[in-house]
C-alpha cells in the first residue's frame, strides 16, 4: 500500500488528499480551493465519493485532510478540552492552509467540521471566500447529548470500534476522544454563536430532516446571526450522515453553490 502524504503541523503528521491538485500545491495556489473538514468520527475516506464528485462537477481543486487523531494522522494521546474545535479552527486549520499553499479557501464542513469552519471564519482567522455547512453544531442541544450517550452505550460491544478500524489508525482512541468530550459536563456549555456575526461571506447551510443529533435550531440560529447571505437547504429524510443518505442531492447543492465562486 502506498504511504499517504502528510503535512507536518507541529508535532503531528496530518494526512491529506487532493482532487484536481493544482500545479504548485504546497507553495501558492492561485484561485479558490474547496477544503473539506470531516465530522467528529469522520475521515477523508468517510466522505466517500463526495469530494471527488464535487471536484469533477465544478472543476475546482479540492483538499480533504484528517485532523490529529483521525485516519492515518498522528493518533491522539491527550484528552480533549471544551475548546478543541477552537484550537482546530484558530491554530491547526490556518497552518494546514499555509502548508498546502491555499490562500482562497471555500470551507466545506460536516458537523464538527462545520463548527470549525464557522469559528475560523467568524474569528477572521484567515481569508475565506464562502462556507458550506452540513449538519453544523453551534451549541449543545439535549438531543445531541442523548444521541451520543446512546451510541456510547451501544459501542460497549466493540462493534463501533471494529467498524471505525477501517478508517482510523487508532479507532479506540478516536472514539474515546469524541465520546468523552461530548459527554463531559463542562461541554454542555459549549456555544459558538458569538462567532456567527463575524461570518460575512456567503453560507450554504444544509441539514437532513431526520438528523438524530440536532433540531432545526442549528440552521435557524445560523440564518438569524450570520452577517453574510445564508442559503438554507433541508435534505428530506436524511440523517446526520446526510452525505451517505442523500449524496446526489448534496453533490448537486455543493456544485451549484461552489460554481458561483469558481
Whether 157 has a pLDDT exceeding 60, the answer reads no
What is the grid cell recorded at 64? Answer: 480533504
Helix or strand holding residue 62 (H, E): strand 62-65
**DSSP string for 12-36:** EEEEEEEESPPTTTTT-B-S-EEEE
Quote the pLDDT of residue 42: 96
Pairing of strands 12-19, 62-65: antiparallel
Instruction: Identify the weakest region by mean pLDDT among 71-75, 88-92, 146-150, 207-211.
Output: 146-150
- As a whole-number percent, the residues of the chain with pLDDT over 70 amount to 96
Quote the pLDDT of residue 152: 78
Quote the pLDDT of residue 30: 82
Quote the pLDDT of residue 156: 58
Quote the pLDDT of residue 159: 78
Q: Which of the two residues, 1 and 63, has the higher pLDDT score?
A: 63
Read off the pLDDT band of 4 (50, 70, 90). Answer: confident
List C-alpha distances in Å: 211 to 187, 197, 214.
21, 25, 6
Read off the pLDDT band of 155 (50, 70, 90). Answer: low
Instruction: Identify the weakest region by mean pLDDT among 54-58, 87-91, 98-102, 147-151.
Output: 147-151
Whether 43 has a pLDDT exceeding 90, the answer reads yes
> Domain 6-259, what fold?
Rossmann fold (3.40.50)
Cβ pair 67, 73 in contact under 8 A? yes
Whether 51 has a pLDDT exceeding 90, the answer reads yes
Quote the pLDDT of residue 150: 82
Whether 238 has a pLDDT exceeding 70, the answer reads yes
Whether 24 has a pLDDT exceeding 70, the answer reads no
Read off the pLDDT band of 11 (50, 70, 90). Answer: very high
What's the rounded mean pLDDT across residues 41-54? 97
Read off the pLDDT band of 260 (50, 70, 90). Answer: very high
What's the rounded mean pLDDT across residues 29-44? 95
Whether 80 has a pLDDT exceeding 60, the answer reads yes
What's the rounded mean pLDDT across residues 215-238? 97
Rounded to the nearest 10 degrees, what angle do helices 247-259 and 50-58 cross at?
40
Terminal C-alpha separation, the chain:
34
Amino acid at each position: 500500500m502506498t504511504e499517504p502524504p502528510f503535512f507536518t503541523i507541529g508535532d503531528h503528521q496530518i494526512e491529506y488528499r487532493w482532487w484536481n491538485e493544482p500545479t504548485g500545491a504546497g507553495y501558492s495556489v492561485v484561485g479558490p480551493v474547496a477544503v473539506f473538514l470531516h465530522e467528529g468520527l469522520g475521515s477523508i475516506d468517510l466522505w466517500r465519493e463526495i469530494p471527488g464528485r464535487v471536484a469533477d462537477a465544478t472543476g475546482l481543486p479540492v483538499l480533504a485532510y484528517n485532523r490529529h487523531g483521525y485516519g492515518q494522522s498522528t493518533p491522539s494521546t491527550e484528552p480533549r478540552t471544551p475548546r478543541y474545535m477552537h484550537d482546530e479552527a484558530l491554530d491547526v486549520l490556518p497552518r494546514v492552509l499555509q502548508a498546502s499553499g491555499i490562500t482562497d479557501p471555500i470551507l466545506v464542513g460536516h458537523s464538527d467540521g462545520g463548527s470549525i469552519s464557522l469559528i475560523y471564519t467568524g474569528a477572521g482567522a484567515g481569508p475565506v471566500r464562502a462556507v458550506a455547512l452540513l449538519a453544523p453544531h453551534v451549541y449543545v442541544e439535549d438531543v445531541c447529548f442523548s444521541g451520543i450517550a446512546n451510541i456510547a452505550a451501544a459501542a460497549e460491544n466493540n462493534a463501533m470500534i471494529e467498524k471505525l478500524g477501517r478508517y482510523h489508525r487508532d479507532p479506540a482512541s478516536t472514539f474515546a476522544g469524541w465520546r468523552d468530550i461530548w459527554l463531559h459536563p463542562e461541554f454542555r456549555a459549549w456555544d459558538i454563536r458569538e462567532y456567527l456575526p463575524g461570518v460575512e461571506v456567503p453560507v450554504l447551510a444544509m441539514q437532513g430532516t431526520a438528523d438524530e443529533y440536532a433540531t432545526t435550531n442549528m440552521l435557524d440560529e445560523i440564518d438569524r446571526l450570520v452577517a453574510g447571505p445564508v442559503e438554507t437547504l433541508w435534505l428530506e429524510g436524511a440523517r446526520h450522515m446526510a452525505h451517505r443518505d442523500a449524496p446526489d442531492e448534496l453533490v448537486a447543492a455543493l456544485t451549484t453553490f461552489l460554481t458561483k465562486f469558481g
